[in-house]
Structure 1
Amino acid sequence: MLARRKATLCLGKFLRFSVCASKSQPEKCFLQLLTPALRRHSSQSGPQHSVAIVGSGPAGYYTAQQLLKGDPGLVVDVYEKLPVPFGLVRYGVAPDHPEVKNVIHTFTQTAQNERCNFLGNIEVGRDVSLQELRNAYSAVILCYGAAEDRTLGVPGEDLPNVISAKSFVGWYNGLPEDKDLPVNLDCESAVVLGHGNVALDVARILLTPINMLEKTDISEHALDCLRRSKVKRVHLVGRRGPLQVAFTIKELREMVKLPGTRPVISPQDVQGLDKIIKDLPRPRRRLTELIHKTGTAVRPGSEEVKEWTLHFCRSPQRILTSAGGDVAGIELVVNRLQGETLESQKAVATDEREILPCGLVLRSIGYKSLPLDPSVPFSKGKNIIDNEDSRVKGEPGLYCTGWIGRGPVGVIADTMNYAFDTGRTVLQDLDNGRVARRELGCRDQLLNKLRSKAVTFEDWEKIDMAEMAAGEKIGKPREKLVNVEEMLQVACR
């Protein structure tokens, strides 16, 4: 595998120059960093034009794929604030789910298209303004995702070892901004607040046998911490009932089958589910069947030393602290459900309270997006850009897709479909004159300005090779670089 990647990289050297060449020879035009075909596009007259995509995750590359497929005269530049591409596929997918990351092969094919360029290490708002992009490109598509997690708003949330699941995922996946996250696993019980796939991911990572994790691309600093972990019990707490959980059957099945652990679901919580299962939609029916089966199963005595528990109809009230200022537990309010239909049922607090002792709290109650620029209309209530069919309201030529357009919902397949729709919308607007096409000269001037900082896709391939080589030495598929400066040093070799 590594040998094939080296051959590919050598071929790439004939096609493009590295960023470092630009730094050592400032007089060279940044267009020399791009493919010869793109340089030909720049010198041709006619309707050649370009689109900028902000964000190199699934939404970004699926949109680029659709644009390149639909217009042979179109050039696509993908901007990314990190020196490495692929967003949540690289930093959000659990390390024990390598099959989900296979989509990177598709993204790589798109990135290697002669009309597609990756501009890593370029942050919009820091290195280039949104207005500069809009002046240089026929269209700009925002798909930078949801960068912040939702908070609980309860007393004690600022205690040490009360951590967002987003940061915890970034920590074990090697996201540079989370590599130094202070995680203390010197406790027997942890509480995960949330019943989504991310909640099950972090619970599974806490409980998975180390010998299984050692074969993944989990970051070594996290693996060292997990080796010393004393966590034996994980409580997964949700505010509504078993019919409203947001995780999928695949994730639940993995938890049920996790070696060395036992699942705990109160029979009382699943009582009566068997009578309504047949009337549920198929995906929900299969999931509910597994929840019911797990809750009613008679389990013989076993040697499992770890366990995980699903708690339903509970909401956090406050995080309890010990005399030394550490997390000691969490106080929960017991909810009852109100509403005529399953989808509309809401959790209403009762006067009943419970306390779960724990030393670690992970909140996994959702993500939210942040505004990129004051000029972009933003819905603070929904935490998305105000848009209609991906078109940003009142801003011709500006579009959005992915989580920034609809919110943090769905899986990669949902993002793909949304991104494809966005791509078709942009192509339609370019064809019918709804937005003006800009000549490539404007874009070329901007790229020359950014030449000293930008990381190309070929530079990323150097990082990719270095990570795989480091992983190979310790029996892992890769060991990610977790420091941006190290990434840039490797890219400039």
Structure 2
Amino acid sequence: MTRPLRIAVVGSGPAGIYAADALLKSDVAQDPGVSIDVLERMPAPFGLIRYGVAPDHPRIKGIVTALHQVMDKPQIRLFGNVDYPADLTLDELRRFYDAVVFATGANADRELGIPGIGLEGSYGAADFVFWYDGHPDVPRTWPLTAEKVAVLGVGNVALDVARILAKTADELLPTEIPGNVHEGLKQNRAKEIHVFGRRGPAQAKFSPMELRELDHSPNIEVIVDPEDIDYDEGSIATRRGNKQADMVASTLENWAIRDVGDRPHKLYLHFFESPVEVLGEDGRVVGLRTERTELDGTGNVRGTGRFRDWDIDSVYRAVGYYSEELQKLPFDVESGTVPHDAGRVEPGLYVTGWIKRGPVGLIGHTKGDANETVASLLADHAAGEFTGAAEPEPEAVDAFLRERGVRYTTWEGWQRLDARERELGGEQGRERVKIVPREEMLDASGA
């Protein structure tokens, strides 16, 4: 092949951009060269970095700087507001590209199969995160009338949800939250937030820094019951072998032995409480029933047969993300992933990120994941496994999308949108204010 290798990366979050970066750093980028189009269903790039990270975590959002440097490379083009498969099917992608890498992530909430989970007042964490992060495809308002809220799960998303519910709107105003989110949070009536985990402190999936940040707010009193501090041999082994788990457990221990202060919003971290039913009345949430669990020696838990009903007005499940099934790709319903061999679905078709391995691991794990997938792609290319694109000219994609009437954004368009959001922020003494409506994003991008 004498022309540059044409690659489509579907998804512009860290997984997709790291895959593009790995391709640019490979030998094939020199000979015969590589041309990469990153396709993104949103008008703006960066996936869950933009729409899945809490707005009061600018440090995590700083990874955008590194992603930006990759996307600035001349071998990469961005096609935003392009949806798979509505705007480009798999057959059409193969018409224009030698290989396709899907990096579509996991955007839906994993289901929790307990009675009452579908009652009014019961929500998926992902939907709430999309709301406060200004996702254009969710409602502009959110019901925040509950005074006592349960969050099910002990990962970082659960912490984000609990923290946003427990903070005041004015605490969050200096961040990039849109105006509609600030107005919504001003109506928030939550005074008690209860976070429930079915296992113990050593098994919590919080990041140590995220956990400690809960205590930094002048309005949040974090409370841990001393009876929830318990370890078995498996838990002790986890702490010895995992520095982060040990730091989390130590922080929780310190909180359990201190006196409860007088900050106005109480955030309780409960362990050894397994949700078994969301209680309802007249079709809406009025409580939560949990079963007390106990450690079994291995770090896992078993039920004790002792139940407790909690006075709760609303429930958020944060038990994990789940990927959408991709048309014409195999799919494992249980894991929510595409079956693969080192990222290879078949020669010319690859996956990376959460659609490949499930929604586990931090952003740093994504880079190694992308490197593995790209290695499989390059091996197939070297072995002559690619059939070759019928229309590999870059301008063929532009012409196809224009003919189909797709109003797509570009990398230059993102820079215009970025500048406009920063301009709006500057008018309010803030770094950025997100534009939410899709049409306004497209207009600001010059799509």
Residue in structure 2 matched with residue 143 of structure 1 by the alignment: 103
Instruction: Check if 1:152 corresponds to 2:112.
Output: yes
Instruction: Check if 1:326 corresponds to 2:280.
Output: no
Which whole-Å deviations, capped at 9, do the CAs of 1:156-209 have from their partners, x for residues lacking one?
Answer: 22222211110111000001122435x322232110000000000111111124
Aligned pair partner of 2:370 in 411, 419, 424: 419
1:254 CA displacement: 0.8
Instruction: Check if 1:96 corresponds to 2:56.
Output: yes
Moved more, 159-168 or 404-413: 159-168
Residue in structure 2 matched with residue 341 of structure 1 by the alignment: 298
Residue in structure 1 matched with residue 444 of structure 2 by the alignment: 490
Give me the identity figure in percent.
Answer: 35
Residue in structure 1 matched with residue 308 of structure 2 by the alignment: 354
Aligned pair partner of 2:204 in 245, 251, 255: 245
Contact 1:366 1:408 in 2 (8 A): yes
1:350 CA displacement: 3.4
Instruction: Check if 1:382 corresponds to 2:335.
Output: yes
Residue in structure 2 matched with residue 55 of structure 1 by the alignment: 11
Contact 1:319 1:331 in 2 (8 A): yes
CA–CA distance in 1 between the matches of 2:81 and 2:236?
52
Give the letter for the 1:164 counterpart: G
Residue in structure 2 matched with residue 463 of structure 1 by the alignment: 417
Give the letter for the 1:470 counterpart: L
Residue in structure 2 matched with residue 292 of structure 1 by the alignment: 253
Which whole-Å deviations, capped at 9, do the CAs of 1:435-460 have from their partners, x for residues lacking one?
Answer: 34447636543331113422111112
Which whole-Å deviations, capped at 9, do the CAs of 1:397-450 have from their partners, x for residues lacking one?
Answer: 100000000000011111122113322332333234233444763654333111
CA–CA distance in 1 between the matches of 2:60 and 2:253?
28
Question: After the TM superposition, which residues 151-300 of structure 1 pair with which residues of structure 2 at under 5 Å, given as runs?
Answer: 151-180=111-140, 183-271=142-230, 276=236, 279-297=240-258, 299=259
Q: Could you state the TM-score of these two structures normalised by the residue count of structure 2? A: 0.92
Q: Could you state the TM-score of these two structures normalised by the residue count of structure 1? A: 0.84
Contact 2:323 2:354 in 1 (8 A): yes
- Equivalent residue pairs, number: 438
CA–CA distance in 2 between the matches of 1:109 and 1:280?
36
Residue in structure 1 matched with residue 344 of structure 2 by the alignment: 391
CA–CA distance in 1 between the matches of 2:185 and 2:197?
25
Give the letter for the 1:420 counterpart: N
Contact 1:55 1:80 in 2 (8 A): yes
Aligned pair partner of 1:83 in 34, 39, 43: 43
CA–CA distance in 2 between the matches of 1:74 and 1:440?
15
Contact 1:185 1:360 in 2 (8 A): no
CA–CA distance in 1 between the matches of 2:208 and 2:102?
32
1:331 CA displacement: 1.4
CA–CA distance in 1 between the matches of 2:252 and 2:364?
25
Helix, strand or coil for the counterpart of 1:177?
coil
Residue in structure 2 matched with residue 481 of structure 1 by the alignment: 435
RMSD between aligned alpha carbons? 2.2
For structure 1, the residue ranges without an aligned partner over 5 or more in a row are: 1-44
Contact 1:52 1:140 in 2 (8 A): yes
CA–CA distance in 2 between the matches of 1:158 and 1:279?
40
Give 1 or 2 for the bigger CA radius of gyration: 1
Contact 1:179 1:482 in 2 (8 A): no
Contact 1:49 1:438 in 2 (8 A): no
Moved more, 105-114 or 165-174: 105-114
Moved more, 401-410 or 355-364: 355-364
1:305 CA displacement: 1.4
Describe the shift of the 1:470–1:407 C-alpha distance in structure 2 as closer, same or farther (beyond 3 A).
same
CA–CA distance in 2 between the matches of 1:388 and 1:108?
30
Question: After the TM superposition, which residues 5-84 of structure 1 pair with which residues of structure 2 at under 5 Å, given as runs?
Answer: 46-70=2-26, 71-72=29-30, 73-84=33-44
Residue in structure 2 matched with residue 17 of structure 1 by the alignment: none
Helix, strand or coil for the counterpart of 2:137?
helix
CA–CA distance in 2 between the matches of 1:202 and 1:272?
27
CA–CA distance in 2 between the matches of 1:98 and 1:380?
34
CA–CA distance in 2 between the matches of 1:329 and 1:396?
51
Describe the shift of the 1:336–1:220 C-alpha distance in structure 2 as closer, same or farther (beyond 3 A).
same
Describe the shift of the 1:354–1:130 C-alpha distance in structure 2 as closer, same or farther (beyond 3 A).
same
